[in-house]
Amino acid sequence: MAEAEIIVMGCNTLADIHPFLYGQFIEMAGTCINGGLYDPTHPQARSDGLRADVVEGLRELRPTHIRYPGGCGATYFDWQELVGPRDERPRAKLFRTQNTAQSTAFGIPEAHALCRELGAELYLTVNAHTQSPEDAAHLVEYLNSTRPTRWADLRRTHGREEPYGVKLFGLGNEIYGNWQAGQKSATEYARWCREAILQMKRVDPTIQVVVCGLGRPNPEWDRTVLFETVGLADMISVHNYFGRPIFRDSMSAFRVCEAMFNGLNALIDEAADTALGVHPLTHRELGSPPAVPFRPLIAFDEWNVWYRSKHDPEHDLEEYFNFGDALTVASLLHVVLRNARTVGLSNISLALNTLALMMADKRGLFKQTTWYAHKAIRDAHAAGRVVETPVAAPVFCAKHERFFCGIVNPEKARDEKLPSLLHFNDVSALDVLASIDDHRKRMTLSVIQKLEDRPLTAALTFRGVTPRTDRVMVTRLVGASVTAGNTMDQPEAVHLTTETVRLGETVTFPPASLTVFEFDL
């Protein structure tokens, strides 16, 4: 007998699956790029200095775009130091927070070439911290202009006549934080952004620009930035990290993510109201209502599981993920996809070694549990539209931090009385997402079963959509327990399996599991 029910509402579209929801992130931090992705001394190094095994691991994830050079790494580099011949660039820059040096050898041309090779767009983080709005406009001119001007000519002297055509730019990274060089107040930053966007889009009106948001800890920051840049900025970013030592608590991370999106959307709507002249600050601050030709979207451009590792000069933020963490990543991707009407961009953090999907050193490379979860969801919901999937299932209690505060203390995290915790008493045992690709006549259903101690049987009902056959392809994330993880010695302790099975009226999901069904329609 079924304990749960899943209903796929084929005619009820929640959102279209658009580009930029499956981004990767490579940062000048730790050994993500230098000594990782870029390591000319490694046996796997190609002629361009990139490790072939790392590039192949990225290729398999089919990133829609790649964020570079940070993150916090973006605050240290003037963009002029990351272009031109390598022997004319500074040898390295000192990252003062960790007192470590990062080479400039993998610069903007190299990042762009990697993106082109992978079929991805380059999402370039501008140094809004210690450079000027004019510098940001000069960067766009260098990259994209066809005019006979100083910065476009500089590109030509560097051996490239054709513009790079970079279309995604983020203005700074977490510039509100004292861990960043060039920290700014919301007012200072908003005015910097307004001038920068005006100048950047005068050079190339086709670019998209993302401004830094803060989200739940300080809505007033977002309100200030949005009010000043509405009608100019295409998106506002928000960052968060999730996960807890107790499995059931990590299974509530999606609720924190949903609340974060809901709160930011309310502020975006408030800013968009300035066009009507109804916001109380409109006339006082702006003189007259601004032109608002579009509603800004959310850029969820830095997120992952993080609750164990700390900053370390030798092994910076080298988080080793387990099976439970992989389910957390899958559930967060579900939230992104459900909210794709208002989430315009998403980047998991990071690709290699630092809070990473893959780990590599001189011995070789292994893919973390989260790599497999990300691949499963990416392959399942690559295109089409997300449809409504009502679920009736048992519920359980869990707790989670309201917002990642940058302090990692796994023992303290077991304290259930912390005021920073949100408590939930209605977390569903099933987290389900369905998408339909009408062009390919394909429907996929990804199901996360969150009960650790027992299987769960669910009835599956289709409305407004009919599978062509009862034989379906099933992909499962496989591991011995929620604490199982991959290592260099056991690189596939957690992995994906695929088979074709006959589907009945009910489906039994194993304890703590990720299952993906692919139906022909």
Note whether 130 and 230 are same-domain residues.
yes
Query: Does residue 334 fall inside a structural domain?
Result: yes
Q: What is the mean pLDDT of residues 94-110?
A: 89
Tokens representing 456 are: 């769960």
pLDDT tens digit sequence for 72-90: 999 999 999 999 999 999 9
For residue 193, give the 3-state DSSP assignment.
helix
Of 380, 411, 440, the last residue of a domain is 380
Rounded to whole angstroms, the Cα distance separating 3 from 280 reads: 51
**Shared-domain flag, residues 353 and 438:** no
Residue ending a domain, choose from 348, 380, 412: 380
Looking at the fold, whether 339 and 485 belong to one and the same domain comes out as no
Q: How confident is the model at residue 413 (pLDDT cuts 50, 70, 90)?
A: low
Distance CA 259, CA 265 (A): 10
Q: Convert the pLDDT of each residue in 16-73 to its tens digit.
A: 999 999 999 999 989 999 999 999 999 999 999 999 999 999 999 999 999 999 999 9
Residue 272 has pLDDT above 80, yes or no: yes
In this structure, the answer to whether residues 367 and 449 fall within a common structural domain is no
pLDDT at 269 over 70: yes
Evaluate if residue 277 carries a pLDDT over 90: no
Same domain, 348 and 481: no
Say if 413 falls within a structural domain: no
Whichever domain contains 238, its CATH number is: 3.20.20.80
Q: What is the pLDDT of residue 403?
A: 84
C-beta separation of 303 from 348 below 8 A: yes
- pLDDT at 313 (0 to 100): 73
Task: Indicate whether 129 belongs to any domain.
Answer: yes
Percentage of the chain lying above the pLDDT 90 cut: 83
Confidence of residue 229 (pLDDT cuts 50, 70, 90): very high
Q: What is the pLDDT of residues 391-412, one digit of tens each?
A: 999 999 999 998 886 666 767 6
Q: What angle do CA 314, 320, 325 make, to 5 degrees?
A: 145
Out of 319, 353, 380, pick the residue that ends a domain.
Answer: 380
Question: According to the model, what pLDDT value does residue 419 have?
Answer: 83
Per the structure, the count of domains in the chain is: 2
- 400 occurs within a structural domain: no
Mean pLDDT computed over 232-255: 95
Residues 140 and 261 in one domain: yes
Q: Which two tokens stand for residue 360?
A: 């590599």
Examine the domain organization and report whether 181 and 53 are in the same domain.
Answer: yes
Q: How far is CA 454 from the centre of its chain?
A: 31
Has residue 100 been placed in a domain? yes
Q: 64 and 205 share a domain?
A: yes
Can you tell me the distance from the alpha carbon of 78 to that of 135, in angstroms, rounded to the nearest whole number? 9
Do 336 and 437 belong together in one domain? no
pLDDT tens-digit profile of 292-342?
Answer: 888 999 999 999 999 888 877 777 789 999 999 999 999 999 999 999 999
Mean pLDDT (the chain, rounded): 94
CA dist 354 and 358 (Å) reads 9
User: Domain check: are 61 and 149 in the same one?
Assistant: yes
Q: How far apart are CA 382 and CA 21, in angstroms?
A: 9
Decide the pairing of beta strands 421-428 and 100-103: unpaired
SS3 431: strand
pLDDT value at residue 183: 95
Does 286 sit behind a cis peptide bond, omega within 30 degrees of 0 on the bond before it? no
The number of CA neighbours under 13 Å toward the Cβ of 1 is: 1
Q: Does 71 sit behind a cis peptide bond, omega within 30 degrees of 0 on the bond before it?
A: yes
Asked whether the beta carbons of 412 and 38 are under 8 A apart, the reply is: no
The answer to whether residue 102 is domain-embedded is yes
Q: How far apart are CA 109 and CA 162, in angstroms?
A: 12
- 101 in Cβ contact with 152 (< 8 Å): no
pLDDT tens, residue by residue, 142-182: 999 999 999 999 999 999 999 999 999 999 999 999 988 89
The CATH code of the domain that includes 451 is 2.60.40.1180
Residues 485 and 352 in one domain: no
* 235: nearest Cα among 225, 224, 249: 225
DSSP 215: -
Give the model's confidence band at 221: pLDDT under 50 very low, under 70 low, under 90 confident, else very high: very high
Query: What's the pLDDT tens digit per position in 106-140?
Result: 999 999 999 999 999 999 999 999 999 999 999 99
The pLDDT, as a whole number, for residue 273 is 84
What is the residue range of 485's domain?
389-394+429-520
Asked if 364 and 453 sit in the same domain, the reply is no
Residue 412 is assigned to a structural domain of this protein: no
Q: Is 2 contained in some domain?
A: no
